[in-house]
Homo-oligomer: A and B are copies of this chain.
């Protein structure tokens, strides 16, 4: 029976990962979190701990001896994660975690990367093995260095490794201050929403789909980097209009009130070919259906 260690199980994506892991039959899950508690399940054990604390990874690995490591923990405070110095601490902690995993005879590592590892100056769909890795941000650089280090462990014979570069996750439970949750909150409160021109094209991935792909990667033998994405480019306007229509508040949208960010790429979309051909995976949830589910789920949260 595979024994999986999941780091960062309490956040937005992490809670979807934990839910999906427990649906995998015959898998024992060890969740490592600073809080040390969460949902209960007969195959789930919680461990309290901060991975930035030196020595913790070694102690946990020696105790748990996981066969699989799904490494999702990172500094993730909205707005701050792009340039916070703790990205460096998370890189170093991740290398220590991988070393401890290798020392405990771990077999398979999957880490959560980011589309921000890619060179963002192109507008072609980003392909894992063709688009240059040229991160412009501290966050993107730290994630890219983490994957580079994982490949060294793999090449040295420590463990097999794969890496999921996640695009724009959204879904139930996202209260992170990102665009879509903020939009829903403002429109429901009857407040006008100040927006850019809506022309930016993005690749939204439903969080449960992202979790499904990452867990399939973990349970597969496919190595290398994979885009965790829908492969569909959607303008922000399409997503925003859909939410506003469902809430009957298109009148509150203020497109063009904000300047279009100059440092952001006009088009940020994944090439889904490698994931489809290597893993046979395609996302299950269309953006409009996914948005409807979020609207219903957050409505329940409001009641």
Binding site for B on A (CB under 8 A): 83, 85, 87-88, 91-92, 95, 99, 129, 132-134, 137-138, 141-142, 144-145, 148-149, 151-153, 155-158
7 residue pairs, one from A and one from B, having the closest CB atoms: A145-B148, A138-B155, A88-B156, A148-B148, A85-B156, A145-B149, A142-B152
Q: Which residues from chain B contact A92 at a C-beta distance below 8 Å? A: 95, 99
Q: Which residues from chain B contact A151 at a C-beta distance below 8 Å? A: 141, 145
Instruction: Contacts A88-B158, A132-B132 given; indicate if A145 touches B141 (C-beta within 8 A).
Output: no
Q: Which residues from chain B contact A88 at a C-beta distance below 8 Å? A: 152-153, 156, 158
For residue A134, which residue of chain B has the nearest CB?
Answer: B129
Contact of A133 among B133, B142, B152 (CB under 8 A): B133
Contact sample, A vs B, 5 pairs, CB 8 Å cutoff: A85-B156, A92-B99, A141-B152, A144-B148, A148-B148
Q: Which residues from chain B contact A141 at a C-beta distance below 8 Å? A: 148, 151-152, 155
CB distance from A121 to the nearest CB of B (A): 11
CB <8 Å contact, B95 and A152: no
CA distance A95 to B149 in the complex (A): 10
For residue A131, which residue of chain B has the nearest CB?
Answer: B132
Q: Which residues from chain B contact A95 at a C-beta distance below 8 Å? A: 92, 95
20 more A-B contacts (CB under 8 A) besides A92-B95, A137-B155, A145-B151?
Answer: A83-B155, A85-B156, A85-B157, A87-B155, A88-B153, A88-B156, A91-B152, A132-B132, A138-B152, A138-B155, A138-B156, A141-B148, A141-B151, A142-B152, A142-B155, A145-B145, A145-B148, A145-B149, A148-B148, A149-B149
For residue A86, which residue of chain B has the nearest CB?
Answer: B156
CA distance A153 to B138 in the complex (A): 9
CB distance from A161 to the nearest CB of B (A): 11
CA distance A281 to B7 in the complex (A): 47
CB distance from A144 to the nearest CB of B (A): 6
CA distance A137 to B156 in the complex (A): 10
CA distance A129 to B132 in the complex (A): 9
CB distance from A301 to the nearest CB of B (A): 37
CA distance A144 to B134 in the complex (A): 13
Greatest chain B CB density within 10 A among A85, A133, A149 is at A149
Q: Which residues from chain B contact A91 at a C-beta distance below 8 Å? A: 149, 152
